[in-house]
Every structure is written in structure tokens, then in C-alpha cells.
Structure 1
């Protein structure tokens, strides 16, 4: 990949989109992870104002510290970067106390994890509305179009997706070129939605390198029968998640009424 040229292309694309949309800038949720760090830096390079929003909900200290380190670095490098912290922990707890209690902890924990993402989406659009900004998405290609590892109408609820055509490995290449803090480049990817130390790999059962490989193999038309052992296991994980999360990756179904019935 021609990293420098790809960066230039994305920055120009962002700048053109914002100009044509007649908006004032971008707002981005900063998690302390590689994707939000790269996306916010690319947005900052456009010269448009960028609002970085921290939205902790029972967040671990290392995620918070990485987010703050990145924002501090961005502010030093780009004059039009600002930030705000909105601690949503109390809001999240109030929501939990308002809804009925259920005993199935597996479905409860997953639903609450997605609720965290949707509270953050609502917060980002609050600031976007105040300032006339676009909400910039931080999903990469493996997450958004491979395994669907995002929350529908949560972190998937955005105005535009600058890095959604980049594999995770390519995001890391860009992060290195953009001099994203090493603490972020070396950190294990995590969605931080469960309030514990579990990583994305813990949840999915495969690393991003493995999923990237599986996505490429699927694009080549390979099937499960083409592989053995760990490769077969990873390919199965990829295909199962791709199928189960297809509803996230395509436009919502619309019931089109036949003309003769109207």
C-alpha cells in the first residue's frame, strides 16, 4: 500500500465531502483505540475543526489514559482540534435501573453492551447538531464488511466512514505513518463495551490478522472444505459471523408496495 498517497486521498475525500455538505467540521468518539486515533488524525489533517469526544462508561483506566494521550497529541499538532469529556456512567446506570430486570445474563450483558454504544452515538449526534458537524465513523473493513463487529445504530450510526475500505493491518500502517502514540499502536484491540479486560479477539475467537486472511480467502471463492485445522476454524468463525451479521452490512429492508395497490 502506498501509505502516504492513501492518506492524501482520504483527507481530500473528507475535505471535499464536508465542503459539499456545507458543514463546519467533524465530531469523533475517542476510545483510546487505533481506529478512532487514525480517523481523528485524518479528519484533523483536513483543516476543518474536529471535536474529540470522550464518553467513558465504567471504562478501564488504560483506555482512558490512551484516549487522553492521543487527544493531547492531536491538539499540539492541529490548532482546530478541541475535546470534551461526557461521562455517561451515571446515564447508563439510570437506564439500567429504568428497564425491567431479566435473569438471562448472557442476553442481558450483550444488550447492555450495545446500549453503551447507542448512548455514545446519541451523544455524538447531540454535539454534531450543536456545531453543524458530521459524525465520522471509525470502523475498518474487517469490522464493517467482514464480521459485522459493531453495534447497529451505535458505533455503526455515523455520517461517513473514512477508513471502512481499509483492512486492520492497513489501519496500523497508516497509524505508524501518522505517528499515532505507540501506546495505542501496541494496545490489544477492544470495544470496551463490557467494562472488563476482554479484547476483540477474546470475543470473536480469532485475531484481526486471521480474520483479514479469511476475508481475502472468501473473496477468492474459497469454502470451508478448502482448509484444515486452525485455518478451517478461523474460516468458519469468519463465515458464521459474516452470515449472522449481514443485516448490519446492507441497507435496511423496505417493504415496497406494488403500484396497483396504491
Structure 2
């Protein structure tokens, strides 16, 4: 990958889109992970206003410290960057008092995890509306179009996606080039939706390099019969997530009414 040229291409794309949309810049949710760090740095490179928002909800301390380290570094490097913290823990706790928490614990936990992501999306759009900004998404290709590892109308609710055509490994290469803090580059990827330090690999059962491999194999038309051992296990994991999360990756179904019924 021609990293420097890819960076310039994305930065120009961001700047052109924002200029045509007649907005002031971008707002980015900062998680302490590589995707949000790279996305916010790319946005900062445009010279337009960038608001970095950290939104802890019972967050693991390591996530919070990495996010704060990144924002501090970014503000020092770019005069167009501002950072704020919106602690959504009280909002989340109040929400829980108004809904039923009955049912299988794992189902309730997942619903609450997705609620965290949707509260964050709402917060980002509040700031975007207030300041005339676009919400920049932080999803990469294998997450957004491979396994669908994001929350519908949560971190999937954005105005534009600058790194969604890059695999996770390619995002890391951009991170190195853009001087993202080493603590973030070395950290295990995590969605941070459960209030602990569990990694994405812990949840999915496969690493991102493995998932990238499986996505490429799937694109080549390979099937389960082509693999065995760990490769077969990873390919099955990829296919299961890809199939179950397809509803996130395609346009919302619209019930088309026959013209003869509405004449």
C-alpha cells in the first residue's frame, strides 16, 4: 500500500466533501482504539475544525487513558482540534431504570451494550448539529462489510466513512505513518461496550488478520469444503457473522406498493 498517497487521498476526500456540504468540519468519537485515532488524525489533517469527543460509560481505565493521551497529542499537533469529555454513565444508568431488564442475561447484556453505542451516536450528532459538523465514522472494511461488528444506528450511524475501504491491517499502517500513540497501536482492539477490557477477538473468536484472510477467501468464492483445521474454524466464524449481520450492510428494505394499488 502506498501509505502516504492513501493518506493524502482520504484527506482530500474529506476536505472536498465537507466543503461541498458547507460544514465547518468533523466530530469524531474517541475510544482509545486505532480506528478512532486514525480517523480523527485524518480529519485534523484537513485543517478544518475537528471536535474529538470521549464518551465513557463505565469505561475500562485503559480505554479512557489512551483516549485522553491521543486527544492531548492531537491538540498539540493541530491547532484546529478541540477535545471534550461527555460522561454518559449517568444517562446510561437512568435509561436502565426506565426499561425492563428481564430476560436471558446475555441477551440483556447485548441490548445494553448496543444502547451504549446509540447513546454515543446521539451525543455526536448533538455536537454536530450545534457546531455545523459532520459525524465521521471510524469503521474499517472488515468490521463494516465483513463481519458487521458494529451497532446499527450506533457507531454505524455516521455521515461519512473515511477508512471503511481499508482493512484493519491497513489502518494500522496509516496509524504508524500518522504518528498515532504507541499505546494505541499496541493495544488489543476492543469495542468497549461492556465496561471491561475484553477484546474484539475475545468476542468474535478470531483475530482481525484471520478475519481479513477469511473475507478475501469469501470474495474469491471459496467455501467451507476448501479448508480444514483452524482455517475452517475461522472461515465458519466469518460466514456466521457475515450472514447474521447482513442487515447492517445493505440498504433498509422498503415495501414497494404496486402502482395499481395507489391510483
Distance 2:66 2:101 in 1: 34
CA displacement at 1:93 relative to structure 2 = 0.4
Instruction: Calculate the TM-score normalised by the size of structure 1.
Output: 0.99
| Ranges in structure 1 where 5+ consecutive residues have no aligned partner | none
Match of 2:180 in 1: 180
- Structure 1 position 118 matched with structure 2 position 140: no
- The corresponding residue for 2:31 is 31
- Residue deviations 1:146-174 (CA, integer Å, cap 9, x gap): 00000000000000000000000000000
Aligned residue for 1:40, secondary structure, equals helix
Unaligned runs of 5+ in 2: none
Rounded Cα–Cα distance in structure 1 between residues aligned with 2:169 and 2:192: 20
- Alignment size in residue pairs: 262
- Give the SS at the match of 2:27: strand
Counterpart in the other structure of 1:56: 56
Other-structure match for 1:226 = 226
How many Å separate the matches in 2 of 1:217 and 1:208?
14
Q: Structure 2 CA distance, aligned partners of 1:197 and 1:64?
A: 11
Tell me the equivalent position of 1:46.
46
**Residue 101 (structure 1) shift:** 2.6
Off by >6 Å, runs of 4+ in structure 1: none
Give the Cα separation in 1 of the matches to 2:147 and 2:226: 20
CA distance in 2, matches of 1:208, 1:52: 26
TM (norm. structure 2) is 0.99
1:92-144 CA deviation, whole Å, 9 max, x = no partner? 00001111230310100000000000000000000000001000000000000
Deviations 1:42-79 (A, max 9, x none): 00000000000010000011100000100011001100
Q: Which residue of 2 aligns with 1:107?
A: 107
How far apart, CA to CA, are the structure 2 residues paired with 1:27 and 1:42? 12
